[in-house]
Amino acid sequence: MFPGWATGTAPPAQITLARTLFTGCSTRRHPTSAVPSSFTAGRYDVSVIDDLLAQAAHSAWALPAMFALVLGDAFLVVIPGEAAVSAFGALAVTAGSPPLASVIGLAALAAFTGDACCFLVGRTVGLTRWRWMRTTRVQAAFAWARARLHRRTAVVVFTARFIPFARLAVNLVAGASGVRPGRYLGIVAIAATAWAVYQAIVGAAVGLILPGGPLVAVVVSVTVAVGLGLAIDAIVARIAARRSPSMTVEPPAVSRTAREDERMMDDQTGYDPRFLEREVPLPLPSDERETQVLTYPRFTVALDTARRFAAVTAVNIDGESLLDLPRAGEWDFDPRIPTTVQAGNDVYRNNDLDRGHLVRRRDPGWGEPAEARAAMEATFFYTNAAPQAAGFNQSKELWLGLEDHVLAYAEANDHRVSVFTAPVLEDDDPPYRGIRVPRRFWKVAAWSTTDAAGAPALASAGFVLDQSDLVEAATSRAVAPLGGFRTFQVPVADIADLAAVDLGPLTDGDTLVGTSARGGSVWVPLAARDDITL
């Protein structure tokens, strides 16, 4: 088995190791005693284990093993990555190898690589592809990460390393939510480096301060690393709880955070039917479609859960206090409802489809700056998105500016407008990636006016955006034809019929005189704002 054993010439070190492993005895004298010590440190001689650790630290596989443990920790925790890095940091100062700089560099690279791989997995397959992703525990973890990721990205990326499974959840959610790779991976690189420095220094400090050799340093450094991780988690949770209960950082296995997020969103007032002088109830589908009404700051979405797109959106716009805020927000799932009834980033990846806002980002952004900013960010839930063909032309630009034109026209009535928008969800819309791409969109704007007798009245105007040609091009990845977008002003009654939506009093105040489309009314093509009848 070992050379020299059969001839009785085995090296003393091998004899010492054999005696220690098989009998627990040692011929080494205790440093403070003149008699042989048969048992030291229990059954095993500490010096032998120190020797083994020193040999392991100097071996060629030491750093690759640490790299693999930290990398694997991004997917499945076998040995916590922080424990491995702290242990090697302790060995760097007690055994003289591997170099501390190498420990930090490879640990940072492994942490970054693991996070980047998880980010790419989320970006490629989303959050529902595999069965384990759809379990209650995992969905709760995704909801936890989703609720915090876009508010405090750097803090969440760092602290998630100390929470079981949270590191995986944060990176998958970031990828699936369409977070810009450059920005996110830059944060990941900084967090990975800071984490590696911190963990390695913890181990090195323990090794320098405590006597006893590599074994004591490794055991204590691992204990300290795990303890500090738990302490950081508790401290961050306490601080977050003081600032806002809805932002409490908790282990993702607990679903309470998802319920808190639901209550937070449900507390929003949503669309106000009494915003104008005459009440306008929230329009809802007139057929038997299953819809779920979701309220957000100053707007409401009635989601068609079968089609995974809004059947109706409604927003109140106060043009008098409308703020011009910079773009802020990243597309994400609404945590109150299953991701399976929302059309996420999988629909928009690597094609010519844009995530089109139904309620425009700017529309609910009025009033106090903090409230306006929160309302604007809420427009980035996938419940408020629908696929629109990429690119602009004059007709689509006109469509996107309709609210501004109506607001300017309503100046005499305090610039107040309510706008209703949604895709026309038809059974023959072209199928694509598990959804059907809408070919047309409708919009109705309503504002206050006065009748001939001077009494308060309601005025409205209806519009349709047709992208039929472009949808076929986008879903086949062909080049979209120029001029494919067409915007029309149409009778509001036509929209009610076309979209199967009960528009109530909106049909009575229509500024465009006409009959039902089935009766032969004319849709007016719009080339400029001057073509609009208000």
Count other C-beta atoms under 10 Å from residue 374's C-beta: 17
Angle between helix axes 81-94 and 100-125 (nearest 10 degrees) is: 170
Tokens of 132: 């384990």
**Whole-angstrom distance, CA of residue 417 vs CA of residue 403:** 8
Q: Which CATH architecture is the domain 268-531 placed in?
A: 3-Layer(aba) Sandwich (3.40)
Rounded Cα gap, residues 40 and 33, in angstroms: 12
- For 528, other C-beta atoms within 10 Å of its C-beta total 9
Q: Can you name the residues that pair with 449 across neighbouring β-strands?
A: 457
Please tell me the predicted confidence (pLDDT) of residue 485: 59
Task: Count CB atoms within 10 A of the CB of residue 178.
Answer: 19
What does the block give as tokens for 220?
Answer: 């204590």
Task: Count CA atoms closer than 13 A to 108's CA, side-chain side.
Answer: 22
Report the pLDDT value the prediction gives residue 359, as an integer from 0 to 100: 92
Share of the chain above pLDDT 90, in %: 15
Residues of the chain with pLDDT under 70: 1-58, 77-80, 128-129, 134, 136, 139, 147-152, 162-164, 177-179, 210-268, 391-401, 403, 407-414, 469-485, 513-521, 534
- CA separation, residue 70 to residues 66, 106, 161 (Å): 6, 9, 11
pLDDT at 210: 67
Q: Which of 457, 460, 268 is nearest to 364 (CA)?
A: 268
Q: Which of 147, 184, 189 is nearest to 166 (CA)?
A: 147
Segment 137-183, tens digit of pLDDT: 776 777 777 766 655 677 778 777 766 677 888 888 887 766 678 88
Q: The dihedral of CA 102, 120, 375, 137: what is its sign?
A: negative
pLDDT of the residue at 239: 53
In this structure, are residues 225 and 202 in contact, taking their beta carbons and an 8 Å threshold?
Answer: yes
Domain range summary for the chain, segments of one domain joined by +: 1-44, 46-247, 268-531
Task: Tell whether omega for the bond before 431 is within 30 degrees of 0, i.e. cis.
Answer: no
Coil, strand or helix: which one is 150?
coil
Q: What does R_g of the chain's alpha carbons equal in angstroms?
A: 32
| H or E element in which residue 327 lies | none
Q: How far apart are CA 90 and CA 112, in angstroms?
A: 22
